[in-house]
Amino acid sequence: MTDSAQSALRRIMELESKSTRFCLICNYITRIIEPIASRCAKFRFNTLDQDCVIDKLQNISDLEGIQIENRDVLVELCNLSGGDLRKAINILQTALKMKKNEEKVTIDDLHEICGHIPPKIIKNIIDVCKEKSFQKLEKAIKDLIYEGYSAHQLLIQLNDWIENENCYLNDKKKSVLAEKISKADQYLLEGSNEYLQTLNVCSTLISIT
């Protein structure tokens, strides 16, 4: 809600406090103006614990009779949904719809449903950048787009790679690349061409290695 709407609400909350109790839900407490926040008792909801999510998913899949290959699939599902249980359940349901004949749900299925780029392709792009071969990079990116993966997803996964401890870049280079990624993300949102933006990000990676 806008600040002015929140101020109006504050008045109402005071006046009607005899007859009405308000129950407010928000994603970020910082975006609630101070007077309202001070009038309420606050309950903070943490993101769900990974084990907890996995247990719930296991429970659901047992009840629905979904065949799951092993526990790793659930762990991956948990990572893909970023701790969002609703999203995880939705993905699971979709996976079930795609598999009719008692087949087992695998990690690849989950990747396919989420539009996640397989780690193999990401690794290929990073390796090409390491080789400093521009020609190969052009081809790799073209293939990525022909395969129908989204550039936005590539940026997200490259970002994950930077945060990963296996990343070979030093901190300074990481920050250069991260800045590039954030810029490209903004440009993509404003409707720029996917190919040009990804090429720009990856060529930065070439030039800093």
Partner 1 sequence: MLWVDKYRPKTLDKVIVHQDVAQNLQKLVSEGDCPHLLFYGPSGSGKKTLIMALLRQIFGPSADKVKVENKIWKVDAGKRTIDVELTTLSSTHHVELNPSDAGFQDRYVVQEIIKEMAKNRPIDTKGKKGFKVLVLNEVDKLSREAQHSLRRTMEKYSASCRLILCSNSSSKVTEAVRSRCLNVRINAPMEEEIVNVLEFIAKKEGLQLPQGFAACIAEKSNRNLRRAVLTFETCRVQQYPFTNNQAIPPMDWEQYVSEIASDIMKEQSPKRLFEVRGKLYELLTNCIPPEIILKRLLFELLKKLDSELKHEVSHWAAHYEHRMRLGQKAIFHLEAFVAKFMSIYKSFLISTFG
Q: Give me the residues that bind partner 1 (CB under 8 A), please.
A: 87, 90, 94, 97-100, 112-115, 132, 134, 138, 145-153, 184, 187-188, 190-197, 199-200, 203-204, 206-207
Smallest CA-to-CA distance from 91 within 70, 71, 107 is with 107
User: What is the DSSP code string of 8-69?
Assistant: HHHHHHHHTTTT-------S-GGGS-HHHHHHS-----PPPPHHHHHHHHHHHHHHHT--BS
Contact 50, 78 (CB under 8 A): yes
Of the pair 18, 97, the CB lying nearest partner 1 is at 97
Closest distance to partner 1 from the beta carbon of 114 (Å): 8
Nearer CB in complex with partner 1: 3/103: 103
Q: Please say which residue, 33 or 84, places its beta carbon nearer to partner 1.
A: 84
CA distance 168 to 174: 9
Q: Report, in Å, the least distance between residue 16 CB and partner 1.
A: 29
Least Cβ distance, residue 148 to partner 1 (angstroms)? 4
Q: Which is nearer to partner 1, 6 or 150 (CB)?
A: 150
- Residues 46, 48: Cα–Cα separation, whole Å: 6
CA distances for 101 relative to 47, 97, 195, angstroms? 35, 10, 39
Shortest Å, Cβ 41 to partner 1? 31
- Residue number, 61 or 197, with CB nearest to partner 1: 197
CB of 150 to partner 1, least distance (A): 4
Among residues 146 and 168, whose Cβ is nearest to partner 1? 146
DSSP β-bridge partners for residue 68: 105
Q: Is 75 exposed, middle or buried (0-12, 13-18, 19+ CB in 10 A)?
A: middle
Q: With contact defined as beta carbons under 8 Å apart, do 118 and 108 qualify? A: yes
Rounded least distance, CB 39 to partner 1, Å: 31
